[in-house]
A and B are shown apart, each in its own frame.
Chain A
Amino acid sequence: MRVGVVAIVVMLLAIVGLPLWALLVKGFEDVDGRFVGLANYAAYFATPALFNSALNSFEVAVVTMVVVVPLAFLYAYALTRTVLPLRWLFQGISLVPIFAPSLLPGIALIYLFGTQGFFKGLVGGEIYGMKGIVIAQIFYCFPHAVLILTTALRTADARLYEAADALGASKLRVFLTVTLPGAKYGVVSAAMVVFTMVITDFGVAKVIGGNFNVLATDVYKQVIGQQNFSMGAVVGMVLLAPAALAFAVDRLVQRKQVALLTARAVPLVPKPKFARDALFTLFCITVSIGILTILGMAAWGSLIKYWPYNLSLTLANYDFEKFDSSGWDSFYNSVYMAAGAAVFGTVLTFVGAWLTERTKGFGAMRGLVQLLAFLPMAVPGLVLGLGYIFFFNASGNPFNFLYATMAILVINTVAHFYTVGHLTATTALKQIDPEFEAVSASLKVPVWRTFLRVTVPICLPAILDIAIYLFVNAMTTVSSVIFLYSPDTKLASVAALNIEEAGTTAAAAALCMVIVATSATVKALHLVADRFLFARLQRWRLR
């Protein structure tokens, strides 16, 4: 098994560590590849246009964070601590944005508030720029914050509340002394995740940013527009800094959170209270309408003949051949890529986590796996994609042949989303008895056999979660793959971006809707399968 751990380390170095190293090195070279020390960085900070983007990025991220976190907290509170009618529906609606590429909210906002938008009067002027980015980012980040906060608020011990009641604490005091401290770490975590998502996202700013430059669009412009790879690398490193910082804060805070919920805790079940429940239901309805309006606008926009002059419906916008040379192929490419990432990524993360979790001793190497597995979480997709160009395109690299193939897109996507899969697998593996391998050794059964016959079946729900997570993210991602596709392997999300850039918003919206429909369908199939098929396979869980 130690050989396996070493193999995982080597693999992670190749798909995460070395590309980032290549990027770091590139930042210290001039256009011809000579070492120039900090000259590029000096040039960067001396160019106001570039440095301004960093400030812009920071501003947008902070504003979005300040709006999304309280909003998501109230929503999560409604889901976990009040008696909400149709809770499953509200929960489902809050997750909808996950299935969309980040340019979808940008496109919807253009329809709603753009120069020819329905409600352009409402926003008092230009939607392009900071205002548009923030609104789109709120839509885009909301589900992630809700997921984290729901988890944080769900783990509550009813006894703490009973104790507070028995001691005669007021409602506000209970909230401040019991509820908030319990969810504190979740709030920090949500804030950091939102901050990172906004700083590193590329799609929203690209579509609706207008002349408002942010770090992510700068990287794109430097590399694709000006072919200035060294400056691109520098902006990438600048982009990496806040993301890594936010990640470090989150990790630090998470470490302090040790088992708030002991095994003896009694789960809190909210009791009905009319006024509170009505208020929160109203709140959830409002937020849900907001989410559905954005999605619905994109859907409607994709079906309209000629906005805003001819509002009759048509499917012409779905005939992608007319708007982009790759036509529907980009969609098929996306599905192949997502399926590939789901299959290979799931196998890799699960086997990797199993090897690290179940190998005895060997601390240094296992520590290295943990570090490398966590790294992608802190690295923006654009930065990783850029690193891939430098690393895999280098003439001396034996894996050079991968460049501009479907394989590199799959590898890059797996690497980009490695952390969550690794964490999910590790959590699942930690819950099973640590002595299975010892038992099978004593019974002279090879360890791989126990892995296939016992470990995998027990972890099946987690394995499916990882696969679906990888599939959905591979369908919607734009950032890391934008540097890596070739004409033959163009993905739907990238094609949508290109189409939008060319000015055909309706077709871009149509392609976004195809992506949403695909990833949502896969998720729905997962839920159905979980409910009916796997219930039978998991019969042994029943008592």
Chain B
Amino acid sequence: MDQALRRKVGAEKVTTGYLEVRNLTKRFGDFTALRDVSLDVGEGEFVCFLGPSGCGKTTLLRAIAGLEPQSSGTIRQKGTDVSSLPPSRRDFGIVFQSYALFPNLTVGDNVGYGLASRRKRRAEIAARVTELLALVGLPTEGAKYPAQLSGGQQQRVALARALATSPGLLLLDEPLSALDARVRLRLRHEIKALQRRLGVTTIMVTHDQEEALTMADRIVVMNHGAIEQVGTPQEIYRAPATAFVADFVGSMNFLDGTLEAPDRVRLGKIAVACSAQDGLAPGARVRVSIRPEDVRVRDLPADAPNRLGVTVADLDFVGAFCRASLDAGDVTLMADFSSNLIRDLGVVVGGRLDVALPPDRLRIFAA
């Protein structure tokens, strides 16, 4: 509840518009990396750019930093037009996938690198470095060189260095992808907590949907240089706006069919009921989607809508649950069954089973 509320607050903040990206286009020769991208980021918000490699998410981040100037379009930060400013005159801190730590400088010198050039007093810098190293949980590592630290520790140093100059905007370019799974999981929480504590507006680029879902206030899903959908993690997961988003975030069944009536789709011999579709004319080719965990098995009323008799074709053990392949004649479905359910209902490969596809869980996309 608390988290949902917080996310709602985050969503409302959008109106304040700390960062306004308008009609941004970036071309590399013949290739268009970003096409007409517009986006608002609110102050203090944590936004994730999510998408497959080559979707333009990193290009967008680099355009915001001024590292890869856009071909057209504008970027305003805190009301000022920064579109044509070089990176050195914009207000941001950045952490790269490689961390880009200076290997010949100590951890302390790395963190203090941006402070030294601001004509601050030596003692002042030292105090700030100590403070930052404590903040990222490395209070005693200041005298070491980056090569002597683990990947996760290097990542924190890079974060401390980016935060040292108290930037208004923190940019994270796939900061966790070089780390092993366990460290990655821990750092997700640490970064998120730190961001909340400092209230710094943050944009993170990632191709890992789980990372985006757990960390972001809002997610920007991108594909082929354009934004597919912007929304809270729940919105993205529960109500994907396009087939691409539905497919990219989480697992999804796609069933090809034809719209018979505004609220009915024909899938071969089967017809399924769905919520009324306004935008699509009857007779249109559509794709029906449902998440594997939304396939219902337990406590089905006799008159449950979209009830199907299926054969269990396969069961893959995934640990906490099993992913079943269900054969319903014209269609094949993936469904996630908990271990309890499998035990209670005696699900076995080759066995028969009745399942239902709840109409409110079905999403219909134009094919």
Please state if A444 and B104 are interface contacts (CB–CB under 8 Å). Answer: no
B81-95 near A? 1/0 per residue, CB < 8 Å? 000001110001110
Known: A433-B98, A444-B114. A540 touches B103 (CB 8 A): yes
Please state if B100 and A439 are interface contacts (CB–CB under 8 Å). Answer: yes
A442 at the interface (CB under 8 A from B): yes
Please pick, from A439, A445, A539, A542, the residue contacting B94 in the complex, using a CB distance under 8 A: A439
Question: What is the chain A residue whose CB lies nearest that of B100?
Answer: A435
Q: Is the contact region of chain B dominated by helix, strand, or loop, or is it mixed?
A: loop
B219-245 near A? 1/0 per residue, CB < 8 Å? 000000000000000000000000000
Residues on B with C-beta less than 8 A from A360 are 67-68
Please state if B94 and A438 are interface contacts (CB–CB under 8 Å). Answer: yes
A415-456 near B? 1/0 per residue, CB < 8 Å? 000000000000000000101101111111110011001100
Residues on B with C-beta less than 8 A from A440 are 113
100-135 of chain B: CB within 8 A of chain A: 100, 102-105, 113-114, 116-118
Question: What is the chain A residue whose CB lies nearest that of B114?
Answer: A443
Known pairs A442-B167, A540-B105; list 20 more (Cβ under 8 Å): A360-B67, A360-B68, A435-B96, A438-B94, A440-B113, A441-B67, A441-B86, A442-B88, A442-B162, A444-B88, A444-B117, A444-B165, A445-B113, A449-B117, A457-B104, A540-B103, A540-B147, A541-B103, A541-B147, A542-B147
Complex A-B: 29 CB contacts under 8 Å: A360-B67, A435-B100, A436-B100, A436-B102, A438-B65, A438-B87, A438-B96, A439-B94, A439-B96, A439-B100, A440-B113, A441-B67, A441-B86, A442-B88, A442-B93, A443-B114, A443-B161, A443-B165, A444-B117, A445-B113, A445-B117, A446-B117, A450-B102, A454-B102, A454-B105, A458-B104, A542-B148, A543-B147, A543-B148
Bound together, the chains give a CA A360 to CA B118 distance in angstroms of 26
Report, as a range, how many residues of chain A touch the other chain: 20 to 34
Bound together, the chains give a CA A441 to CA B65 distance in angstroms of 10
Residues on B with C-beta less than 8 A from A540 are 103-105, 145-147
Looking at the assembled complex, report how far the CB atom of B304 sits from the nearest CB atom of chain A, in whole angstroms.
54
Bound together, the chains give a CA A446 to CA B146 distance in angstroms of 22
Please state if B100 and A444 are interface contacts (CB–CB under 8 Å). Answer: no
Please pick, from B65, B68, B98, B104, the residue contacting A442 in the complex, using a CB distance under 8 A: B65
Please pick, from A442, A446, A450, the residue contacting B92 in the complex, using a CB distance under 8 A: A442
Question: What is the chain A residue whose CB lies nearest that of B105?
Answer: A454
Known: A457-B104, A543-B148. A443 touches B117 (CB 8 A): yes
Please state if A445 and B147 are interface contacts (CB–CB under 8 Å). Answer: no
Q: Is the contact region of chain A dominated by helix, strand, or loop, or is it mixed?
A: helix
Known: A457-B104, A539-B145. A443 touches B113 (CB 8 A): yes
Residues on A with C-beta less than 8 A from B98 are 433, 435
Binding site for B on A (CB under 8 A): 360, 433, 435-436, 438-446, 449-450, 453-454, 457-458, 539-543
Looking at the assembled complex, report how far the CB atom of A460 sits from the nearest CB atom of chain B, in whole angstroms.
9
146-197 of chain B: CB within 8 A of chain A: 146-148, 161-162, 164-165, 167
Residues on B with C-beta less than 8 A from A438 are 65, 67, 87, 94, 96, 100
Question: What is the chain B residue whose CB lies nearest that of A444?
Answer: B88
Bound together, the chains give a CA A99 to CA B147 distance in angstroms of 37
Residues on B with C-beta less than 8 A from A542 are 145, 147-148
Bound together, the chains give a CA A239 to CA B92 distance in angstroms of 57
19-75 of chain B: CB within 8 A of chain A: 65-68
Residue among A436, A443, A445 with the most chain B CB within 10 A? A443
Question: What is the chain B residue whose CB lies nearest that of A456?
Answer: B104
Residue among A446, A454, A458, A540 with the most chain B CB within 10 A? A540
Question: What is the chain A residue whose CB lies nearest that of B148?
Answer: A543
Please pick, from A435, A445, A453, the residue contacting B114 in the complex, using a CB distance under 8 A: A445
Bound together, the chains give a CA A441 to CA B89 distance in angstroms of 8
Bound together, the chains give a CA A440 to CA B103 distance in angstroms of 14
Residues on A with C-beta less than 8 A from B167 are 442
Residues on A with C-beta less than 8 A from B96 are 433, 435, 438-439
Residues on A with C-beta less than 8 A from B147 are 540-543
Bound together, the chains give a CA A436 to CA B67 distance in angstroms of 12
